[in-house]
Each structure stands twice: as structure tokens, then as C-alpha cells.
Amino acid sequence: MEVTELEEKNISYQNTSLCYQCAKCSSGCPVIEEMDVYPHQVIHLASLGLEEKVLNTETIWICANCYACAVKCPNDIDITGIMNNLKQKALEKGIKPKRPDVYKFHQTFAQDILKRGKAHELRIMGEYNLRLRKPFKNVLLAPKMFLKNKLKIQPPKAVKGFRNWIKKLLKKNS
Amino acid sequence: MKNDKIALYPGCSLETSSSHYLKSIEKVFEILEIPSDSMEEWNCCGATSVKSIDQRLNLMLNLRNLALAEEQGIRDLVVPCASCYHRLVSTEYELNRDPKLRDELNKEAGFNYKGEVKVRNILDFFVNVVGLEKISSKVVKPLDGMVVACYYGCLNTRVPKPASFDTMEYPMTMDKITEALGATVIDWSYKTECCGASLFITVDSISTKLVGKILNDASLREADCITVSCPMCQTNLDTNQGKVREAFNIEKPVPSPFITQLMGLAFGCEPEEVGMDKNFEAMKPLS
């Protein structure tokens, strides 16, 4: 099997072959207990080109993007960046995310902010529950937040010029 | 025209769920005689979500912010939210490191960003632009006897190395500000441990565990509060604390005021003036 160009696409400047499997990334990861494959193993899979295997892990979705691994890596591999590359790659290849609960949040958030240029937190939480088909998830948070006026029913005012700009940009790329 | 203005990039959460953070920043800036205008027509940085599923779009969103800030004559773009800061400063770094990429994205997005605006974390701004002397000169009610654990979380310091303003493993900027207010800061092990960020919404069992460890360490070291500078960290430490404390057997509440709320209190503001009424876990009144 050939080594893929997984990590070399566009924005990334990573080289997973620099990894010598010291596992510092895994030992410092705060969410490792939820992962099915450890971060240093993800890097190993990626450098071996075992694409299907690595794109089908829960690990890439569970990663909290805290960058603890990236700052600990003795070879300066941006492991967090690679996790994001892998998520994006999985989506591009039409692979169903192994943690839909996490993916659906990212998707809901991204689509929401493209509407007005700013996040509408209440709508994101509601829409997320709908997509997850779990209408009561986090529902106890809402009254608490309302009580302190921390959730707004009204969406934020649309950012001037944003919608047209983003529409044009997305059209160009499609 | 040379860029010479200071402006805030507040970010989405400071306009809604963490409006008390913005309120305290505006108050503190007023006392420090710093203009607290926000840049105009900023957009969401995309946070972790956009970056997770579309990295080019993530760069575009932040390029728009940087390009507009530059057009508006801004020199220091002060960013209070750790997540916004991370996105903006990483984009700044990425685009200035790679002029070819910058030209390409500029052309595609219709901007002319040259790299003349500096993205500054609010902690960096307080310590390196405003200065600790000026901060301590405004203290009228020193926080004597208050024991504070300074919590930085992940994204304030874990930025591309050339862009960092503090050490990643054991940062001290917030500690220095807190000391300038008269409080006692403690050494502790969870300064830069992750709070779980959006896992608070998606997989709350993980975030409960992470938040529990942070509260527990601060509590064992007898901190009166954990001060933070990130709205996501503040939400996670504060909102469901009762439940977390029960799971971890932590007896006393651990309030988590924003650093700017502590500054406001030390500058003699009433608690409501810096939004303390919006924190779930209340601080003990200052004697």
C-alpha cells in the first residue's frame, strides 16, 4: 500500500513520518478515555496510509481540539491539526462520522453562523437536539440560562455585507 | 495611513451567554482610560466547529475579520475569548508565514489583507500594553487575603509558537495581573488542563470529569475562586457546578469570576457593575 498524501493537503504542513511513537501525545490527552484508538496510533495509521481504518475511528471526532498533544510533541507534529484534516477527509469521502453526536454539533454550529455571521446559541442548541433526535438533551440547562438572561430568543443582528460575501465565496468553490 | 487604533473583537458569546464578561471588560477599560470600542462588522471566528469540518472556510472567516480590522485602522485587535483568539492568531500566523496562500485567499475572498493588524490576547494586552504598574495604580480595594487559582485553559496559550505571549506549560500572565490586584495566587496542577469545551453540550460525561478534576484541585489547595479569561471555560466551570461537586465530593462552591471581574472589584466597582450577578456561583463579598 502506498503512503497517502492525507496530511499534505492544502493548509496542513504536517509530516506524520516524523513520529517515532513516543506516545507523549496520548499520555497528555485529556479525553483519551473516550477514544477507541489512541492519538499516537492515529498518527501511526495515517503514516502507514491505512486511510479507511483511521477515518473510521471515534478518536478523530472525540478530540476536543485542546492542542495538548501538539504542544507536547517533541517533533512539532500538529496532531490536533491532523485530527481536523482527518475529520474533513472523512466527510469528503462520504464516510459516516463515527461520533454523530459530535459531528452534528459542528455541522449545526457552522451552518448557523453562515446565516448571519454570528452564532445564535439558543437556535444552535435547539437545532442540534432536533438533528440528534434527542429533544430533551441538555434541556435542564435552558431554564437556568434564561434565568440569568444568558440565552437570547432573538437571533443576533446580521453582520452587514456578510451574507452576500459568504454566498459568493461558497458559490465560487462549489 | 498607519494603523494606530485599539479595538476589541468581542466574539459571539460575549454578546449573549457571557455578556457579563463584556460588561466587566468595558468597565475596566473605562477605568484604565482605554477605548473599548469593538471593531465594526466582525463575524464569528467559526470556533472549533468550522475548523473541524472545513479548514479553508475557517481561514476565510478569520481573514475577513483581519482584513476589516486592518481597513479600520486597527493596530491592536484585543481578543478576550480564548477560542476566538486561537482562531484569529492562528490565521494571522498562517497567512503571514505563507504569503502565497495569503495572496490566493485575498484574491478569492476579495480582500487586501497585508498583515498590519496585531491580534492580541486580552491577558497579553493587559500585561504588555497596559502594564502591571498602571493596573495596580487603579486598585482602591485590594483583594487582600483572597486566594486565587488562575485558570488559563487550552487555547489562550497553545498557539503557534512564534505567536505565543506566555509559556504553554505554566503560564503566568494572569497570575501577575491577579497579584497586582493584591490577591494571593497559588501554584496548582490544572492551570492549562482542558475543561472539555463544546463536549459540555455534546458528551457531558466527559466534561463533568474534566471540570471535576479542575475544581477538585483548586478546592484541595483552598483557593477561594478560580479566575478565568475564557467564556467557554467560565460556562463549563460555573453552570453545572452543583452536579459536578456532588460527583466529586467537593463540599464548598468554587466561584469562577472572569479576571476582569476581579479587576473591577479591586478598582472599587460594585459587583453588579462588572456583572457578578450573572455568575451562578457567587463570590463572598469583599471585607
Q: What DSSP string describes A105-149?
A: HHHHHHHHHHHHSS--HHHHHHHHHHHHT-TTTTTTHHHHHHHTT
- Give how far B185 is from chain A: nearest CA, Å: 24
User: Which band of pLDDT confidence, cut at 50, 70 and 90, is reported for residue B1?
Assistant: low
- pLDDT at residue A2, as a whole number: 39
* Average pLDDT value over all residues in chain B: 96
Handedness of CA B239, B149, B172, B214 (dihedral sign): negative
Q: How far is CA B87 from CA A25, A55, B55, B240, B249, in A?
A: 22, 24, 11, 27, 36
Fold held by B5-123: Glutathione S-transferase Yfyf (Class Pi); Chain A, domain 2 (1.20.1050)
Q: Residues A74, A107: one domain?
A: no
- Give how far A110 is from chain B: nearest CA, Å: 5
Cα–Cα distance for residue pair B181/B179, rounded to 1 Å: 5
- pLDDT at residue B64, as a whole number: 98
Within chain B, residue ranges assigned H as helices are 12-15, 19-31, 47-53, 55-71, 82-97, 99-109, 122-124, 132-137, 173-180, 199-202, 204-220, 231-238, 241-248, 259-266
* B231: three-class secondary structure by DSSP: helix
**Helix B82-97 vs helix B99-109: angle between axes, to the nearest 10 degrees?**
110
**Interface with chain B: mutation pick from A29, A32, A61, A66, highest number of B CBs within 10 Å:** A66
A97-108 confidence digits (pLDDT tens): 999 999 999 999
Q: Residues A82, A125: one domain?
A: no
User: Which band of pLDDT confidence, cut at 50, 70 and 90, is reported for residue B284?
Assistant: confident
Q: Which amino acid is located at A46 in the chain? A: A
Strand-pairing partners, residue B119, are: B77
- pLDDT at residue A4, as a whole number: 45
Burial-class residue B214 by CB neighbours within 10 Å (0-12, 13-18, 19+): buried
Q: Residues A75, A113: one domain?
A: no
Cα–Cα distance for residue pair B157/B153, rounded to 1 Å: 8
Q: Residues A78, A127: one domain?
A: no
Of A68, A92, A116, the position where a domain reaches its end is A92
A71-99 confidence digits (pLDDT tens): 999 999 999 999 999 999 999 999 999 99
- pLDDT at residue B161, as a whole number: 87
- pLDDT at residue A136, as a whole number: 87
Domain with A116 in it: 100-173
Q: Residues A76, A21: one domain?
A: yes
Q: Residues A143, A119: one domain?
A: yes
Tell me, yes or no, whether A20 lies in a domain.
yes
Cα–Cα distance for residue pair B201/A134, rounded to 1 Å: 12
Q: B256, B271, B229: which is closest to B124 by C-alpha?
A: B229
Tell me, yes or no, whether A41 lies in a domain.
yes
Is B203–A102 a contact, with Cβ atoms under 8 angstroms apart?
A: yes
Q: Residues A12, A69: one domain?
A: yes
Of A69, A92, A115, the position where a domain reaches its end is A92
**Alpha carbon B258 to chain centroid distance?**
8
Q: Residues A84, A151: one domain?
A: no
Whether A124 has a pLDDT exceeding 90, the answer reads: yes
B142-189 confidence digits (pLDDT tens): 999 999 999 999 999 999 988 999 999 999 999 999 999 999 999 999
Q: Residues A117, A50: one domain?
A: no
* B38: three-class secondary structure by DSSP: strand
- pLDDT at residue A138, as a whole number: 87
Nearest chain B residue to A66, by CA: B154
B109-121 confidence digits (pLDDT tens): 999 999 999 999 9
Total domains, chain A? 2
The partner residue sitting opposite B198, judged by closest CB among A67, A105, A156, is A105
Tell me, yes or no, whether A67 lies in a domain.
yes
- pLDDT at residue B69, as a whole number: 98
Q: Residues A87, A11: one domain?
A: yes
Whether A143 has a pLDDT exceeding 60, the answer reads: yes
Of A26, A59, A92, the position where a domain reaches its end is A92
Whether B287 has a pLDDT exceeding 90, the answer reads: no
Tell me, yes or no, whether A1 lies in a domain.
no
Is A146 part of the contact surface with chain B (CB cutoff 8 Å)? no
Contacts of A113 in chain B (CB under 8 A): 12, 43-44, 46, 50, 61
Q: Residues A75, A116: one domain?
A: no
pTM equals 0.95
Whether B280 and B235 have beta carbons less than 8 Å apart is answered as: no
Is A138–B204 a contact, with Cβ atoms under 8 angstroms apart?
A: yes
B206-223 confidence digits (pLDDT tens): 999 999 999 999 999 999
Cα–Cα distance for residue pair A116/B159, rounded to 1 Å: 28
Element (H, E) at A162: helix A162-173
The partner residue sitting opposite B17, judged by closest CB among A11, A34, A121, is A121
CATH class (in words) of the domain with range B132-278 = alpha beta
Q: Residues A31, A54: one domain?
A: yes
Q: Which distant-in-sequence residues (6+ apart) come within 8 Å of B178 by Cβ?
A: B143, B148, B150, B185, B227, B259, B262
Delimit the domains of chain B by residue range.
5-123, 132-278
User: Which band of pLDDT confidence, cut at 50, 70 and 90, is reported for residue B67?
Assistant: very high
Whether A9 has a pLDDT exceeding 70, the answer reads: no
